[in-house]
């Protein structure tokens, strides 16, 4: 499913909270917080937040360790409730739990190391759910040689599924798609956007490339 050309961001959806997933170990970057690295005079997290905040009712940051390192952003910081760095699904659950306590119906996840995602991300994910009748939606990107692949850190989740997700994590499920697909997960494709909207910064070379892309 592709997002219609006419679909534009209008106002933020107050029912949806955004969760920025920054709970990984950043091993390919040598450890530390990739999202706090400088990109054209601002942190990567600044660029991500500038994209996500106008699309949602509130933003929460999923990050482990001392939350004070993010104090200047004024964001709620939630840690994984699953021990041992269980991956993005644990961050999604942390975001869903925060959203449930604060009166939100859905969460949209975004990766903390991807500063170029669409300004229509939330509207596109909502469109995919409404058009398909599915409860979840996830971004797909076209492959250079044909076909598509999932972008599992960019998805829309209903808060009502948080206990199902908690049980799945307790049973050992770690891959986003492994849990999301059986729930009914609609795909959405964002075409003709440059630079690559879902480019993510994993290595020092990626950071250099991202600076050229801005």
Contacts of residues 170-178 at CB distance under 8 Å and 24 or more positions apart, as own/partner, are 170/82, 173/89, 174/86, 174/87, 174/89, 175/87, 175/89, 176/87, 176/88, 176/89, 176/92, 176/138, 176/152, 177/138, 177/150, 177/152
- Tokens representing 168? 């799945």
Say if CB 122 and CB 13 are below 8 A apart.
Answer: yes
Q: What is the DSSP-derived secondary structure letter of residue 134?
A: -
**Interstrand relation of 185-189 and 136-142 (parallel, antiparallel or unpaired):** parallel
Q: Where are the domains of the chain?
A: 13-213
pTM metric for this prediction? 0.92
The Cα-based distances of 19 to 180, 182, 213 in angstroms read 17, 22, 24
214 residues of the chain, pLDDT tens digit each: 765 655 555 568 889 999 999 986 554 545 579 999 999 999 999 999 999 999 999 999 999 999 999 999 999 999 998 887 789 999 999 999 999 999 999 999 999 999 999 999 999 999 999 999 999 999 999 988 889 999 999 999 999 999 999 999 999 999 999 999 999 999 999 988 888 999 999 999 999 999 999 8
Query: Can you give the pLDDT at residue 194?
Result: 86
User: What's the distance, Cα to Cα, between the start and end of the chain in Å?
Assistant: 28
Q: Which fold has domain 13-213?
A: Spore Coat Polysaccharide Biosynthesis Protein SpsA; Chain A (3.90.550)
């Amino acid at each position: 499913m592709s997002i219609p050309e006419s679909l534009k961001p209008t106002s933020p959806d107050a029912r949806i909270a955004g969760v920025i997933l920054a709970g990984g170990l950043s091993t390919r970057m040598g450890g530390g917080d990739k999202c706090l690295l400088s990109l054209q005079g601002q942190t990567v997290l600044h660029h991500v937040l500038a994209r996500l905040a106008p699309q949602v009712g509130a933003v929460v940051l999923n990050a482990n360790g001392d939350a004070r390192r993010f104090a200047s952003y004024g964001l709620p910081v939630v840690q994984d409730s699953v021990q041992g760095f269980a991956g993005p699904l644990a961050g999604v659950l942390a975001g869903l739990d925060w959203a449930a306590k604060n009166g939100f119906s859905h969460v949209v996840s975004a990766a903390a190391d991807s500063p170029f995602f669409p300004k229509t991300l939330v509207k596109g994910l909502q469109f995919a759910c409404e058009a398909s009748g599915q409860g979840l939606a996830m971004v797909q990107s076209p492959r250079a040689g044909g076909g598509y692949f999932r972008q599992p850190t960019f998805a829309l989740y209903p808060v009502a599924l948080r206990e199902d997700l908690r049980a799945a994590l307790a049973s050992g499920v770690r891959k986003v798609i492994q849990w999301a697909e059986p729930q009914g997960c609609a795909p959405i494709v964002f075409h003709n956007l440059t630079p690559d909207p879902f480019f993510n910064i994993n290595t020092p070379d990626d950071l250099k490339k991202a600076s050229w892309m801005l």
